[in-house]
């Protein structure tokens, strides 16, 4: 059953992009949880309100072999925004904070060659990743984007929808990233929530509806980490267009996510497990953003590093490096 159309902020007029239920109102996302205002109950004393924005940063720390590094504390890190030092307000090891995930599956014929293997791998991922506090939204994309299941923690609903994904002809990749970011941004966030977009695709946008820059900005505005499972031909094809692959790699890196090449459909399930493991071994870092800062578009830059130069040389940090502070 096809869902009703959603206008994507007027960026791509005439494009058939579909989502579950009513078209969402185009409103800025709610701010993340803020400290309670200070209220003096004596009516003769003016009310004082403190406004701060708690910024959530999911952080992966790995060694030279890519293995997660456990046991670090807030004291091991130093944090800055736009070059100005900030105090870490909250730190959690091996994060149990809620996940809000959009799983977007490329339904074009070039990817859905062995649909049963993909279905099984996606179902296994959904079962392994969803806990009581997590929510997952399922989309497919080919000629257009369909939201098949809205945010839920019921794996059976998602699994049932995965079995009904139709095969299309084109790949509206950037539309999918944009709409996934939009859906994440417009939903209320839980305390310490981590937002994630997981893509299964061959990496090439063939519809020319959207653009990389618009999709990237929307993912950043949503505070989403992009994980890309890039399907490539089994045979080495030196003539294939790798521009889309490189765009996904850059998007993953810039948002603090990760990418995986899947050369054989049998490797899809292990790739999903890598994503699950990566999300389960993250640290959560939170700080109160300065009231003023950023460029004319509200873009602010985050800098995180280990204090000890010796540890800095041994370990690699992965996290989102920017966010928008204009809402």
Domain boundaries, the chain: 99-280
* Cβ atoms of 71 and 281 closer than 8 Å: no
CA dihedral (130, 134, 135, 140) positive or negative: negative
Give how far Cα 92 sits from Cα of 75, 212, 260, Å.
Answer: 12, 33, 26
Residue 161 has pLDDT above 60, yes or no: yes
* Cβ atoms of 293 and 70 closer than 8 Å: no
Other Cβ atoms closer than 10 A to 295: 12
pLDDT value at residue 31: 45
Closest C-alpha to 103, from 157, 67, 60: 157
CA dihedral (325, 306, 272, 133) positive or negative: negative
Q: Which runs of consecutive H residues, i.e. helices, occur in the chain?
A: 115-129, 155-162, 173-186, 212-221, 243-255, 268-280, 309-314
Q: How far apart are CA 259 and CA 202, in angstroms?
A: 12
**Model pTM?**
0.81
The residue with greater pLDDT, 263 or 63, is: 63
- CB within 8 Å of 38: residues ≥ 6 apart: 48, 49, 50
179: confidence class by pLDDT, cuts 50, 70, 90: very high
242: confidence class by pLDDT, cuts 50, 70, 90: low
pLDDT in tens, 8-40: 433 433 344 444 444 444 444 444 444 433 333
Sheet holding 258-262, edge to edge: 145-152, 135-141, 99-106, 194-201, 224-231, 258-262
pLDDT value at residue 209: 77
For residues 209-213, give the mean pLDDT.
Answer: 87
Q: What angle do CA 197, 201, 205 make, to 5 degrees?
A: 100
99-280: CATH topology is Rossmann fold (3.40.50)
For residues 281-309, give the mean pLDDT.
Answer: 92
């Amino acid at each position: 059953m096809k869902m009703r159309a959603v206008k994507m902020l007027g960026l791509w007029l005439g494009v058939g992009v579909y989502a579950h239920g009513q078209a969402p109102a185009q409103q800025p996302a709610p701010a993340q949880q803020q400290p309670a205002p200070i209220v003096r109950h004596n009516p003769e004393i003016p009310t004082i309100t403190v406004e701060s924005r708690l910024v959530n940063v999911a952080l992966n720390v790995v060694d030279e072999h890519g293995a997660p590094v456990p046991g670090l504390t807030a004291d091991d890190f130093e944090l800055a925004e736009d070059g100005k030092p900030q105090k870490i307000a909250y730190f959690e090891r091996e994060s149990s904070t809620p996940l809000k995930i959009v799983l977007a599956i490329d339904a074009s014929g070039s990817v859905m060659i062995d649909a049963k293997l993909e279905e099984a791998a996606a179902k296994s991922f959904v079962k392994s990743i969803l806990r009581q506090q997590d929510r997952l939204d399922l989309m497919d994309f080919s000629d257009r984007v369909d939201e098949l299941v809205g945010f839920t923690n019921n794996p059976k609903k998602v699994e049932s929808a995965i079995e009904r994904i139709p095969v299309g002809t084109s790949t509206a990749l950037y539309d999918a990233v944009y709409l996934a970011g939009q859906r994440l941004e417009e939903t209320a966030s839980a305390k310490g929530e981590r937002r994630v977009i997981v893509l299964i695709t061959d990496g090439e946008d063939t519809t020319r509806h959207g653009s990389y820059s618009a999709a990237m900005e929307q993912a950043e505005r949503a505070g989403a980490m992009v994980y890309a499972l890039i399907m490539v031909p089994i045979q080495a094809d030196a003539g294939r267009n790798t521009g889309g692959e490189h765009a996904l790699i850059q998007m993953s890196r810039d948002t603090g996510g990760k990418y995986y090449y899947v050369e054989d459909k049998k490797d899809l399930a292990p790739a999903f497990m890598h994503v699950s493991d990566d999300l389960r071994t993250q640290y959560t870092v939170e700080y109160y953003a300065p009231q003023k800062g950023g460029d004319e578009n509200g873009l602010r830059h985050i800098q995180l590093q280990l204090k000890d130069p010796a540890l800095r040389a041994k370990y690699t940090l992965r996290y989102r490096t920017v966010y928008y502070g204009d809402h």
